[in-house]
A and B are shown apart, each in its own frame.
Chain A
Amino acid sequence: MAKGIWVFAEQRDEEIKKVTYELLSAGRKAADALGEELCAVLMGRGVGSLAGKLGEYGADKVYVADVDALENYTTDAYTNVLADLAKEHQPTAILLACSVAGRDLAAQVAQRLGTGLMTDCTDIAMEDGQLVFTRPIYAGKAFVKAACPQARPVMATIRPNVLAADAPQAGRAAETVTVSAGAGDIRQVIKEIIKQISTRPELTEADIIVSGGRGMKGPENFAILEELADVLGAAVGASRAAVDAGWLSHSFQVGQTGKTVSPVLYIACGISGAIQHLAGMSSSKCIVAINKDPEANIFKVADYGIVGDLFEIVPLLKEEMKKLLA
């Protein structure tokens, strides 16, 4: 009999990623509703000590695969271990983070287990006794609710930061099960890993964009936007006026003559909102405008506007965001 809600516990540099706790909290509710256990699957090298934390966040059982071959993520090694484990224990569902590794792994495991996979989900719920997932499609212009009625396990990748993580219960322990299965034949040979200190995403890929216009007054002032962007894991963009002034290169330009973007959050600083700019960003889910001119066009598309001096507001906003995201 299939049983257990599984969460792939993503870690990097021996630290559990926050999204894992979000998945555990959601998984806990699903497991309780189904009367099944909640299991975390932890893979890596030297990661065994992290199992305790997973218990505190709700896992009943933690499968730990702690071997050298899992030190760095490779598609084959992780797929082999997770798929073998799932074949053995037949869980009801496997939840993963919608990260680069999470979605890579999810696709391989889903196919190997011959099951369905819903990716990039923003919500998970129990409806009529089955797990139902909500996922944005067409870049968030519509949503679909979907389920995997028969095939097991039900698999899904969930976006980070969309589900709430419950507070950990200190001292709550999970049963730790050491996984002895090997990583098997690994066909992806890692030649080099290039870590970025600042992981500023590419403009068109970014979930958050901090953008500056002519109101930035000069290239040197973009530093305050970069600092805010780094706190948010955001990309930095610019209006045509800022690019024209030579403050940033054309690759930063947002707008119809530059890049069309539709991030979850777009923060426009000192951008007046010419139609060319609006056409390239108005499909963003949430738009913030900071501008000293209350008549600026950008306020017409903004969800939140602050009329004021961006040189004062942006650094303050950065501090507030730091506090929130700490």
Chain B
Amino acid sequence: MSELMVFDEVREAIVMSGGEEIQKCMQCGVCAGSCPWGRMEEKSEFNIRAMFHMGRLGYDGYESDDYLFACTTCNQCAVRCPRGIKIPDVVRAMRSVIAETGGIPKNLKAVLGSINSQGNPWSQERGERTAWMKGVEVPEYTPDKEYLLFVCCTSAYDGRSQKVARSVVELLQAAGVSFGIIGVEEQCCGESVRKIGAEEDFTRLAEYNIGLYNKKGVKKIITTSPHCYYTFKNEYPEFGGEFEVYHYTQLLDELMAHGKLKLSKPVGGKVIYHEPCYLGRHSKAFDAPRNLMSSVPELQLVEFEGNKDNSLCCSGGGARIWMETRAGQRFSDVKIKEAAEKEAQVVATACPYCIVMLEDSLKNLNKDDVMTVKDISEILRESL
């Protein structure tokens, strides 16, 4: 009897943490069949269906870096689930039960610690948050500006990604957008914090950011990353943060349609578009990135075999970007190989995490002499 009690308690704990949909699962296995982990060269022990089964019955055995924390929250399973379960939410709930008790992967503890202390996950100095702005002038956000530009922590601190932030700024300026940044008072949006399961930390971040934006009079936000976009748009309202949120591709697409953004210079070459999960599948912004790239003269846009709802993740979501994925199990390797087969010269994407993952794969597969990874903003800037 006592064992049975334990089973119920585990399920209840997951439900209490926001994973009520685990109870809707009928164990059909479409999720596991869709999961990218199962499609890699080297087999992974991770099985999302089995994890749901264990969670519901209160079994042990999935509390590890390579199981509970394997899911990249790419949402591939969820768009196919016949019961419509928001699977990443259940994964998040399961993680949060463990995370509350300190069972967080070592690398992710450092991420949380860094966000708490420095406001960013990369263990970089809070005071250097605006270091990315070299060479571009960005005004401070004041209420007379239409938009707040929120530069993702990765683009604020990573030398490679800083170029993306500067490109976005140049494009917005070229299109005459009224925007500003807040700067060192900013903190991480908390997307990964929530995915890690650290709900308390996420709540604190969200409340801080919402308070800051409201104090500054922010109504509309432009993000450089689809992760920040998703979180501001879909998760901040739970905490009273009501903002009009745009990923930069969405706004630029609108501006182009209204003739405010003009792309004229040809940028030749074959470009393949890697769809960021949080822009595509999670947010259904399939058209804006494609519209933008198709408008660049002489650019030849090609597609991966799986795209839009069936696009393969880079493996950097769900806080996996801070965890080690063994060679042979990296989704980004598969993407680079396919891009190489299709003889693309550029892999284009619109997410700082995707860039980190894809560039690592590019180097690892020694394809960096024939192909480059670019953010869409970088391509567009060349075409200005």
Direct contact of A and B (CB under 8 A): yes
- Assess whether A241 is in contact with B360, with CB atoms less than 8 Å apart: yes
B324–A258 touching, CB < 8 Å: yes
The chain B residue sitting closest to A241, CB to CB, is B363
B160-A275 in contact (CB<8A): yes
Closest to A276 in B: B356
B107 CB–A CB distance under 8 Å: yes
Q: Please name all residues of chain B whose beta carbon is closer than 8 Å to the beta carbon of A244 when the two chains form the complex.
A: 327, 360, 363-364
Instruction: Tell me the chain B residues, 108-165 only, with Cβ under 8 Å from chain A.
Output: 110-111, 114, 121-124, 154, 157-161
With contact pairs A253-B324, A274-B160, A279-B114 given, residues A214 and B363 touching in the complex (Cβ less than 8 Å): yes
Establish whether residues B364 and A245, one from each chain, have CB atoms under 8 Å apart when the complex forms.
yes
What mask results when residues 235 to 272 of chain A are scored 1 for a CB within 8 Å of chain B, else 0? 00000110011100010010011101000000000000
**Distance between Cα atoms of A250 and B327 in the complex (Å):** 11
* A172 interfacial contact with B, CB 8 Å: no
Q: Give Cα A257–Cα B324 distance, bound, in whole angstroms.
A: 5
Q: Within the complex, which residue of A256, A275, A278 is in contact with B107, where a contact is CB–CB below 8 Å?
A: A256
| Cα(A240)–Cα(B107), bound, Å | 14
Cα of A68 to Cα of B158 in the assembled complex, Å: 59
A300 — which chain B residues lie within 8 A by C-beta? 159
The CA of A300 and the CA of B124, in the complex, are separated in Å by: 12
Assess whether B323 is interfacial by the CB under 8 Å rule: yes
A273 beta carbon closer than 8 Å to chain B: yes
Docked pose: A256 CA to B115 CA in angstroms: 14
Q: Does A115 contact B (CB under 8 A)?
A: no
Residue A283 lies at the interface, judged by CB distance under 8 Å to chain B: yes
Report Cα–Cα, A256/B113, bound state, in Å: 12
**Is B107 a contact of A282 with CB atoms below 8 Å?**
no
- Indicate if the CB atoms of A282 and B360 lie closer than 8 Å: no
Interface presence of B7 (CB below 8 A): no
Is A297 part of the binding interface, using a Cβ–Cβ cutoff of 8 Å? yes
How far is A171 from B160 in the complex, measured between Cα atoms in Å?
Answer: 62
A268-310 vs B, CB cutoff 8 Å, 1 = contact: the mask equals 0000011110111011000000000000010010000000000
Which of A214, A240, A256, A258 has the largest number of chain B CB atoms within 10 A?
A256
Min CB distance B323 to A, Å, is 6
Chain B residues with Cβ below 8 Å from A257 are 107, 322-324
The answer to whether B356 touches A275, judged by C-beta atoms less than 8 angstroms apart, is: yes
Given the contacts A241-B363, A244-B364, A297-B159, A279 and B323 also touching, CB distance less than 8 Å: no
Binding site for A on B (CB under 8 A): 107, 110-111, 114, 121-124, 154, 157-161, 322-324, 327, 356, 360, 363-364
Q: Identify 7 new A-B residue pairs, CB closer than 8 A, beyond the known A245-B364, A279-B122.
A: A256-B122, A273-B159, A275-B157, A275-B159, A280-B123, A282-B124, A300-B159
